[in-house]
Amino acid sequence: MIRAENITKTFGEQQVLKGISILFEAGKTNLIIGRSGAGKTVLLKSLIGLVQPTSGSVWYDDVNFTNLGKEELRAVRMKVGMLFQGSALFDSLTVEQNIRFPLDMFTNLNAKEKSERVDYCLERVSLTGANKKFPSELSGGMQKRVGIARAIVLNPKYLFCDEPNSGLDPKTSIVIDELIRSITIENNITTIINTHDMNSVMEIGDNICFIHQGKLEWKGNKSEVLESTNQELQSFIFASPFLQRLRDRALGRPV
């Protein structure tokens, strides 16, 4: 469980986050949705301290994440896995070395245990055998999966995904979404996903927070989206006339 309390963030003149409080539950895929530039990335990075929020506090279960000392901060971060928007794989390292990096840095496992763990993670993301490839040799979807493998190698309790399916075709997006969801449920992880992908919203939206103009505009789950009367949400999710017709048909409204 992660709890954000009244997070604000200002860059110079621009107030990007205007006081956001959200509860992210364990074992669920918690979605942060909003238009490009709404501040999703800034919010996600504020939760893990990559961006210093201007005010507000963040709780990881019963640990107050704000104002932690260096060692305590590291202890929390070692329980966090993160998938970046551009995957952020180290491009001079192979797939295997990428996934092994956290193991090399933080564990005392021997070489055999490490390679077993790496192989397990690769298998989990259906990339068995890609060990020796370099990130540049992989497709965007495969890079995302390696990113997920690296994020889960230390058995995280919290998983952050910044737009996991941006730049992917719809089919691959669904594979990635399902993968994140099943890993979340298997390990009872608190997963937070930034997205503006309407498929993800409808498929894996256990908890959905809609960020609009720096505020939490709406929250609910995937089955509540259809029926919500929030205008901003409706125009964000059902952006095209085509989608609006589909929605109206699903709700049995006259088309």
Residues that bind another protein (CB under 8 A): 45, 48, 50, 70, 73-75, 77-78, 80-82, 84-86, 88, 90-91, 101-102, 104-106, 154, 160
Judged by beta carbon distances under 5 to 8 A according to partner kind, the member of another protein, Mg ion, ligand ADP, none in contact with residue 88 is another protein
Residue closest to ligand ADP (Cβ): 41
- The answer to the question of residue 31 lying near ligand ADP (CB under 6 A) is no
- Give min distance, CB of 120 to ligand ADP, in A: 32
Q: Tell me: does residue 41 bind Mg ion (CB under 5 A).
A: yes
Of residues 33, 42, 118, 189, which one binds ligand ADP by CB under 6 A? 42
Which is closer to ligand ADP, CB of 92 or CB of 213?
Answer: 213
Residue that the structure tokens 């990113």 belong to: 147
Instruction: Residue 198: name the closest of 225, 230, 216, 175 by CA.
Output: 225
- Angstrom distances, CA of residue 217 to CA of 2, 71, 82: 19, 36, 25
For 144, half-sphere exposure in the C-beta direction (CA atoms, 13 angstrom radius) is: 23
Alpha helices in the chain (DSSP H): 40-48, 70-77, 95-106, 111-124, 140-152, 170-187, 198-204, 222-225, 231-237, 241-250
- Out of 34, 81, 102, 147, the only residue in the binding site for ligand ADP (CB under 6 A) is 34
Helix (H, G, I), strand (E, B) or coil at 20: strand
| Distance between CA atoms of residues 57 and 67, nearest Å | 9
Give the tokens for residue 205: 């939206």
Q: Which amino acid is located at 219 in the chain? A: K
Identity of the residue, 33 or 80, whose beta carbon is nearer to Mg ion in the bound complex: 33
Dihedral in degrees, nearest 10, Cα atoms 172, 178, 179, 182: -170
Question: Using the rule CB under 6 A, is 164 a contact of ligand ADP?
Answer: no
Residue 152 binding: pick among Mg ion, ligand ADP, another protein, none (C-beta 5-8 Å cut-off by kind) = none
Residue pair 29/21 in contact (Cβ under 8 Å)? The answer is no
CB 9 → Mg ion: shortest distance, Å? 14
For residue 48, the partner it binds in another protein, ligand ADP, Mg ion, none, with Cβ less than 5 to 8 A by kind, is: another protein
Residues 30, 206 contacting (CB under 8 angstroms): yes
Position among 30, 39, 100, 142 found at the interface with ligand ADP (CB under 6 A)? 39
Q: Which CB, 50 or 243, lies closer to ligand ADP?
A: 50
Closer to ligand ADP by Cβ: residue 31 or 42: 42
By CB under 5 A, name the binding residues for Mg ion.
41
By CB under 6 A, name the binding residues for ligand ADP.
11, 16, 34, 36-42
